[in-house]
């Protein structure tokens, strides 16, 4: 999987890039089933909303084979290494649920702000990759991005420990308003299997989901190997400390696993 120069230019200029339906229906069906199984587990990696519904599941690649394969998939790894010009390792891996009717907000924030303050990451040479497991629509809490806000650098933030069950370094309303006045807001939508790439300093957030349509998204934070974290303060399953570059699997690895499971059923 190689990005075109036009795609690379869009990423650097706008701070984000959407690759529609990069993964097939067969691959996504496998991942969606496995995500549901993980959410049902009672383990420290699975965090829940205040009402008990799943909010996110961390480090799924360490205890689930399908998500291990996704985390090393060449269709995902290749474009990121192309942008950074070097090998990458997995800094964070989570499956965000955004459950039907009750999925809570994610406040306006920059990801690098957390990586720097909580993990000691030197530079914003890490990127979030979002793989849609459900269709992301304008109505079911899509991720909202502020284009070109990554060019503003690392912004002042406050540590919000109360709004949701997940602590987050968030931006104030005045800052968000100023950036939106300059760049607007986009909400990339797409079919299951689509992949969204966005810069670590791009300002983003999402509203709650009050629809009957779930919005499960896998978020993988890939960090340039030279940019490994220096002062981690969070548990290893949230901020990984294995800095070895990812060795990719075969392109058809997820398909093979899906078919093996069907034969065994």
What single-letter DSSP state applies at residue 147?
A: T
Counting beta carbons within 10 angstroms of the beta carbon of residue 193, is it exposed (0 to 12), middle (13 to 18) or buried (19 or more)?
buried
- Taking the alpha carbons at both ends of the chain, their separation in whole angstroms is 32
Q: How much is the pLDDT for 239?
A: 96
**77 or 158, greater pLDDT:** 77
Kindly tell me if the per-residue pLDDT of 104 is higher than 80: no
More confident of the two residues 223 and 162: 223
Q: Is the dihedral angle over the CA atoms 226, 253, 94, 84 positive or is it negative? A: positive
pLDDT of 206 strictly over 80: yes
Q: pLDDT confidence of 231, banded at 50, 70, 90?
A: very high
pLDDT value at residue 119: 96
- Please tell me the distance from the alpha carbon of residue 153 to that of residue 7, in angstroms, as a whole number: 22
**pLDDT at residue 87, as a whole number:** 98
| Domain 5-264 indexed as CATH 3.40.50.620 | no
* The 204-206 sheet, strands edge to edge: 143-145, 204-206, 106-109, 168-170, 158-160
User: Could you state, in order of their start, the residue ranges of all structural domains in the chain?
Assistant: 5-264
User: Do 129 and 90 meet the contact criterion of CB atoms below 8 Å apart?
Assistant: no
CA-to-CA dists, residue 18 to 78, 132, 177, 180, 218, angstroms: 15, 11, 24, 20, 14
Q: Identify the CA nearest to 19 among candidates 29, 30, 31, 6.
A: 6
Which pLDDT does position 89 carry in this prediction?
Answer: 98
Contact present, 199 and 80 (Cβ < 8 Å): no
Which pTM does this prediction carry? 0.91
Query: pLDDT tier at 160 (50, 70, 90 boundaries)?
Result: low
Q: For position 167, what pLDDT does the model report? A: 64
State the pLDDT confidence band at 164, using cuts at 50, 70 and 90. Answer: low
- Of the listed ranges 30-34, 51-55, 93-97, the least confidently predicted one is 51-55
Rounded CA separation 256/27 (Å): 9
pLDDT score recorded for residue 156 = 85
Q: Is the pLDDT of residue 165 over 60?
A: no
Q: Are strands 106-109 and 204-206 parallel, antiparallel or unpaired?
A: antiparallel
Angle at 81 between CA 75 and CA 83, to 5 degrees: 105
pLDDT at 57 over 80: yes
How confident is the prediction for the chain on average, in pLDDT?
Answer: 93
């Amino acid at each position: 999987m190689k990005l075109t120069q036009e795609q690379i230019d869009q990423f650097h200029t706008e701070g984000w890039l959407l690759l529609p339906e990069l993964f097939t229906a067969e691959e996504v069906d496998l991942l969606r089933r496995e995500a549901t199984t993980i959410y049902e587990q009672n383990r420290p990696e699975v965090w829940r909303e205040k009402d008990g519904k799943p909010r996110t599941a961390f480090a799924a690649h360490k205890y689930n084979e399908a998500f291990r394969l996704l985390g090393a998939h060449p269709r995902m790894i290749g474009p990121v290494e192309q942008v950074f010009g070097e090998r990458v390792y997995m800094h964070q891996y989570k499956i965000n649920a955004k459950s039907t009717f009750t999925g809570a907000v994610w406040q306006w924030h920059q990801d690098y702000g957390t990586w720097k303050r909580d993990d000691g990451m030197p530079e914003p040479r890490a990127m979030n990759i979002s793989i849609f497991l459900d269709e992301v629509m304008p109505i079911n809490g899509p991720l909202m991005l502020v284009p070109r806000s990554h060019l503003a650098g690392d912004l002042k933030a406050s540590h919000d420990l109360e709004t949701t069950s997940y602590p987050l370094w968030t931006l104030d309303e005045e800052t968000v308003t100023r950036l939106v006045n300059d760049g607007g807001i986009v909400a990339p939508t797409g079919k299951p299997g689509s992949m969204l790439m966005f810069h670590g300093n791009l300002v983003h957030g999402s509203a709650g989901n009050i629809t009957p349509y779930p919005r499960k998204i896998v978020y993988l934070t890939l960090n340039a190997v030279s940019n490994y974290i220096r002062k981690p303060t969070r548990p290893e399953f949230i901020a990984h400390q294995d800095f070895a570059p990812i060795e990719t699997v075969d392109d058809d690895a997820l398909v093979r696993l899906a078919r093996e499971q069907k034969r065994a059923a």
